[in-house]
Copies of this chain bind each other. A is one copy, B any other.
Amino acid sequence: MAKAKAKRNLRWQRDPEGMRLRILEAAKQEFSAHGLAGARVDRIAAQAGANKRMLYYHVGNKDDLYLAVLEGAYDKIRSEERGLDLEHLDPPEAIRRLIEFTWNYFLRNPEFLSLLQTENLARAKHLKRSAKVKSMHSPFVEMIRAVVRRGVESGDFPVAVDPVQLYISIAALCFFYLSNSATLSVIFGRDLLAKDAKAERLAHMVGLVLAALTGQSAALFDVVKPPKKGAAVAQTV
């Protein structure tokens, strides 16, 4: 009973690492929910179960906090991207996997979408200052390049495509649908995040890209929808 000091009357415990993580997690939520200007330092502190002073002690000011969150977000996606193995799949299947991964990652990490939107509204002012993020190259472009090359060789794909453009397009198809689902849902008068709608969207994206790459429109567009009953009035953007 010498070391086991039963006297646990402490008002608080030390936990620097844990505290830092809680702060960053809270900051991620706050920044993705309210943007940079809309985020409240006090709310982050409260959410982290900490004192406001702790943010400055462990991370820095609001901007530092924001950048740390952003870097963490990039770090996470890069890490998961590296886990995707497309080498052993035949080219069309590899492309499908790629789209599905992107789609699901965005679905599972909505804060990532918000953070990117926020950073783009800020014209990437912070990213530009982050050597860390600049050095975090995504493996996807090279993966795509390899898949396209194989596809052309195997005859699956009649022609080659610029892998950078293709990657941006795949990201675009997924990203826009999800990041703009709020306004789109209002405009179209239906919930784009409903389970059916999401499945339909994924099928469409895969169909579109594979049809373009393989030239097999028909086979892939099994998405040919019979005009829905009560067909919604047409609306856009």
Residues on A lying within 8 angstroms of B by beta carbon are 34-38, 74, 77, 81, 114, 116-124, 127-128, 133-134, 137-143, 145, 157-165, 167-169, 171-173, 175-177, 179-189, 200-201, 204-205, 207-209, 211-218, 221, 223-225, 232-237
**Shortest Cβ distance from residue A133 to the other chain B in the assembled complex, whole angstroms:** 7
Copies in the complex: 2
Q: Complex Cα distance A162/B221, Å? A: 10
Contact of A204 among B162, B176, B187 (CB under 8 A): B162
Closest B residue, CB atoms, query A114: B121
Q: Is the interface of A mostly helix, strand, loop or mixed?
A: helix
Residues of B within 8 A of A37 (CB): 34-35, 37-38
Q: Complex Cα distance A231/B113, Å? A: 28
A-B residue pairs in contact (CB < 8 Å), sample of 25: A34-B37, A35-B118, A37-B37, A77-B237, A81-B236, A116-B180, A120-B183, A124-B183, A134-B189, A139-B236, A157-B217, A159-B218, A160-B221, A161-B204, A165-B204, A165-B223, A168-B176, A168-B177, A172-B172, A172-B176, A175-B180, A211-B213, A214-B217, A215-B215, A215-B218
